[in-house]
Chain A
Amino acid sequence: MVLSKALESQVEDFISRLKRRQIVGSYEVAKETAIILRQVVSTTRWSDASVLVHVITDLGRRLVAAQPKELAVGNIVRRVLKIIREVVRGELETDDIMNSGTSEDSDGFSQDSEDDADSDREFKSILAQDTEDTDHTPRPEIPQRPKLQTESSMFNLLVDKNSEDIDYSAKSYNMKPLIIQEINEEIIADLETVYKGIADQALEHIHANEVIMTIGYSRTVKDFLTKAAAKRSFQVIVAETSPTLQGQAMAASLAEVGIETTVITDSAIHAVMSRVNKVVLGAHAVLANGGLVAVTGSQMVAAAAKHHTTPVLVCTALYKLSPLFPYDVDLFNVCVTPEHVLSFNEGTLIDKVNVLNPYYDFVAPELVNLFVHNLGSAPPSYVYRLINDNYDLEDTTL
C-alpha cells in the first residue's frame, strides 16, 4: 500500500532520525509515531478496516525495523491497531442495533476475541471479500497466524459463546473520523496526561522525611517527586549516571524545585543504599515479563536495593509497556560511542582495548516491587495483564 508523497517523505524523515538516534526517548518517539499514524489514517484511501490494518502494520514494521530499541514505536502502532479493531467491532455493534435483521447475507462475527477459530477466519475472509468488492489494488494477504485461544476476562469463561454472534456488514465511511478521534483522545491526549496521572499518585508512595534514590534523568520521575515535594518534605539521592551525567541534570532540576538533593557517584550506590528508604526508577520500556529496560546503571541500583531490601518503584507510562518478551536481554540494549568512557585522545590505548558503552540496562522483574503507571499501580507479575488490556493479541508480532 502506498502512502501519499508528502506522508511518505515525512515517514522517511522520521525513519532516518530514528536510525541515527537523533530522536531518542520514549515520549518523543511515541508522540511522533502517533501523529504519523493519525495522518496515515486520515490521508490514505481505504474503504474497509482490513486495508487500514494492513497499511498500519506495514508502516509499523518499517518504523520498528528502523530502530528496534525504541520499543515505544511498536507500542504505539499496536495501540493504533487495537483502536482500529475496536472501532470496527464497536461500529459493528451500532450497525447491529440500527439495522438489526437487515443483514442476513453476511456471516457471523463475534465481538469477543475468545470465540472459536471459524468465526475469526470468517471475519478475515469477509474483510478480504469486501476489499475485492470495492476494487482495491491487489495486496499480499495478511499472514494467517494460528488462532490464539485467550480469555479477555475470567467472566467470559461462563458466557455462552454462540449466543454472542453479531451480524456483520462493513460500512467504513463513518469509521474514519471515529478512529481519528480515538487516536487523538486515547493516544495523543493520553501522552500529555501520563505525567500528571503518575505524579498524582506520588503522595500514596512517599511519606515524610523519606530518603529516595534515583538514577538518570526521567521526566516521569521528576514530576512524581516534584508533586510529592509540594506536600511532603523528603530527601533525594541521585546517582550521577556516568558517562552521560543525566543524573546530575536530574539533581539540578530537583534542587531547583526545592527538594533536598544529594548527588553521589555511581560507585557510591551500594555504600549509600543503607540510608535509602525507597528507590524510584524511570523506565525506557517495560517488557512482558515485568522486567524493564532503563538507563545504564539502573540494574545496579535495583540490585543494591534488593540486598538492602529497599522497595523499588518504577514510574512508567502505559505506552512504554511492550508485549515483547526478553529472551535475550542484550537484544534490547544498544552500544553508543565509547568516547565518553575512554576518550579518543588516548589513541595508543584505545585501539588495543575493547571499550563498551551500553546505553541501557535490563532490570529483572524480581528486582522491582511496583510499577506506578498512569492509571494506577501494579506489581511486575501483573504487567502481562496490562499488556493484554492495551494491545490486541493479533498484533504482538507486527
Chain B
Amino acid sequence: MIIVGPSHDTAQGGHQAAGGRKSLKDMTKAERRALQEQKVKEKQGRMAAGLPGSAKKASEQEAHKKVNSPKIGSTSNLAQPTAPDAGKQAKKQQNKLNEVPWLSHLDPPKKPNTASNTNRDLHPAILALGLRFAEHKMVGSNARCVAMLTIFAKIIRDHKPPSDASFSRHIQKYLDPHIAYLLSVRPMSLSMRECIRWLKKEISEIVEEDPPLTDEVARNRLVERIEHFIKERITMADTLIVENGMQKIQNGDVILTYAKSSVVEALLLEAKRSGYEFRVIVVDSRPMFEGKHLLRRLVSAGIECSYVLLSSLYVVLNTVTKVILGAHALLNNGAVYSRIGTAMVAMAASDKQIPVIVCCETYKFVNRTQVDSLVLNEMGNADELVKSSIPSNTNPLSNWRDLPNLRLLNLLYDVTPSKHITLVVTEVGLIPCTSAPVIWREYK
C-alpha cells in the first residue's frame, strides 16, 4: 500500500464497505457483539461437523468436496442443511468457487455501491467519476489521473469547512472518504496512487505553513498546484515525450505497437504530420480490443496500418523495425507495469533483436518493485472472456459457472522485465529503464 498518512485505515474501511458488509467501525457496540457471537456459533457448528475452525478453510474444503459432486448448481447437496446459515454459506461458496486459487489475494472486480445513503457525504462529481471508472468507460492511466485530479480540484474549490475548523486542517479529512470511494469502485492504478501521495504532501505543506494561510489563499494555492501538476507532469510531459520520441522515428520504419496508449498515439500522429513515411502494425487482444480505437485514429490520419491479434504476433514480427509501447507505471527495478500482453510483445521483439521503446511520463515512476505479474495486479470481469467475436457461434464457455472445475481469469496488467526494454522515452530525455529509481528520487 503506497498511500500514507491517516487515510490508510479509512481506505481499508472503504474496501470492506464496498464488499457489501458494514465496516466494524461503523457498527454500534451491540451490532459488533452480535456479530462476534454469530461467528463463535458458526465456528462451533463447523467443529461439530468435523470441518476446520476458520471460515476460510472450511469453505475451501467444502469447495473441494463439491468438485467431486456431479451437480454444483443445485443447492440440495451444499453444506449441512442443519446449519442455521446454510443458505449464506452456500452463496459464499458459490462465489468463491470459480475464483482462481493462486490469485485469491487480488480483489475480485467490484460493483460500485450506488445506494444513496452510504455516499451521502460525497461530492456528486466523484460519484459520477467512480461509475465511469468502475464500468471501464474511462481507461488509460493518463486519462484516469487527469480526470481524478480535475475532480479533486473541483471538490477542493467547492469545499466549505465547518465553522470550528480551518480549510487547511479540514480538507484532508474531507478528501479521505472520496479517495476511499474511488478505491472501492476499482483498484487505483499505480500512477493514481502516486498522484494522491503527491496531493497529500501538498496538503500537509499547507497545514504547516506559518503564519497559517487564510482559507481562501490555501484553497487557491491547492487548486493552482493541482492544475500545475496536470500541466507540467502530464500534458506538457506528453508533448515533450512526443518531441523526444521523434528522434527515433525514421523514414521507412515499420512500427509495431500494442493496445492503446495516448502518448504513443500522439507520437505516431505527430510523426505523420512531420512527413515521415512509415507503416504501423497495431497488435490487439481480446477482450478489450483497445487497439481498435488507436487503429481508427491512425487510419483517419492516413497512416498505413496493419492489424493483427496478439496470437499472430510472430508472423508479422519479421518486418518490424521498432516496437513502441505505452506504460501504466515504471517500477523502481526497471520493470514496466502495463496492459496485459505488453510483456509478450516486448519479449518477442527483444528475442528478434528489435528495439523496444517505452513511452512513459515521469509521474508514472513509482517506488515499488515487482518481479512477477501476479503479486499486484487487477482482475477484470471474467464474463468478458465469454463474449465471442463471432456472434453466430455459441460459446463453449457460456455455462462456465456450472462447471465446478472451470475458472476464467481476466487479468488486466502484466510486468515486463527490464531485460526486454531497450529505451524509455520520458519528458526528461531518453533513458534506460534501469534508471527509473534515479529519476524517481529527483521528483520525490
Q: Which residues of A contact B (CB under 8 A)?
A: 240-243, 245, 248-249, 251-252, 254-256, 258-272, 274-275, 296-297, 299-300, 303-304, 307, 330, 333, 339-343, 349, 352-358, 361-362
Count residues on chain B whose CB falls below 8 Å from chain A CBs.
56
Docked CA distance A296–B310 (Å): 10
Q: A245-B395, A262-B408, A340-B389 are in contact. Are A355 and B306 (CB under 8 A)?
A: yes
Docked CA distance A359–B286 (Å): 17
Docked CA distance A300–B41 (Å): 52
Residues of chain B within 8 A (CB-CB) of A352 are 299, 305
Neighbour of B374 across the interface among A252, A271, A340, CB < 8 A = A271
Q: Is the CB of A255 within 8 A of B403?
A: yes
Neighbour of A267 across the interface among B100, B341, B372, B396, CB < 8 A = B341
Closest residue on chain B to residue A333 by CB atoms: B315
Q: Is the CB of A270 within 8 A of B409?
A: no
Task: Tell whether B111 is near chain A: CB-to-CB under 8 Å.
Answer: no
| Chain A interface, DSSP helix/strand/loop, else mixed | mixed
Q: Is the CB of B406 within 8 A of A356?
A: no
Interface string of B372-406 (1 = CB under 8 A from A): 11100100000001001110010111001001111
Q: Is the CB of A266 within 8 A of B305?
A: no
Residues of chain B within 8 A (CB-CB) of A255 are 403-406
Among the listed stretches B128-136, B216-224, B342-350, which one makes contact with chain A, having 4 or more residues with CB under 8 Å of it? Answer: B342-350
Closest residue on chain A to residue B341 by CB atoms: A267
Neighbour of A242 across the interface among B100, B286, B393, B413, CB < 8 A = B286
Neighbour of A354 across the interface among B306, B310, B385, CB < 8 A = B306
Q: Which residues of B contact A (CB under 8 A)?
A: 67, 100, 102, 285-287, 292, 295-296, 299, 304-316, 339-341, 343-344, 347-348, 351, 372-374, 377, 385, 388-390, 393, 395-397, 400, 403-411, 413-415
Listed A/B pairs (11) with beta-carbon separation below 8 Å: A240-B286, A248-B395, A249-B396, A255-B405, A262-B100, A268-B341, A269-B344, A271-B413, A356-B307, A356-B308, A357-B312
Q: Is the CB of A263 within 8 A of B299?
A: no
Neighbour of A303 across the interface among B339, B347, B385, CB < 8 A = B347
Neighbour of A330 across the interface among B304, B315, B403, CB < 8 A = B315
Residues of chain A within 8 A (CB-CB) of B309 are 242-243, 266, 341, 357
Contacts A267-B285, A349-B296 aside, 5 further interface pairs with beta carbons under 8 A come to A255-B406, A258-B405, A353-B305, A356-B312, A358-B315
Neighbour of B415 across the interface among A248, A271, A342, CB < 8 A = A271
Closest 3 CB pairs of A and B: A267-B341, A297-B311, A271-B373
Indicate the member of B341, B396, B411 with the most A CB atoms within 10 Å.
B396
Q: A270-B343, A303-B347 are in contact. Are A355 and B308 (CB under 8 A)?
A: yes
Docked CA distance A361–B312 (Å): 8
Shortest B400–chain A CB gap in Å is: 7
Q: Is the CB of B351 within 8 A of A356?
A: no
Residues of chain A within 8 A (CB-CB) of B285 are 242, 265-267
Docked CA distance A243–B287 (Å): 10
Neighbour of B396 across the interface among A252, A262, A266, A343, CB < 8 A = A252
Neighbour of B406 across the interface among A252, A304, A355, CB < 8 A = A252
Residues of chain B within 8 A (CB-CB) of A263 are 385, 397, 400, 406-409
Q: A262-B100, A265-B410 are in contact. Are A240 and B299 (CB under 8 A)?
A: no
Neighbour of B389 across the interface among A251, A266, A343, A349, CB < 8 A = A343
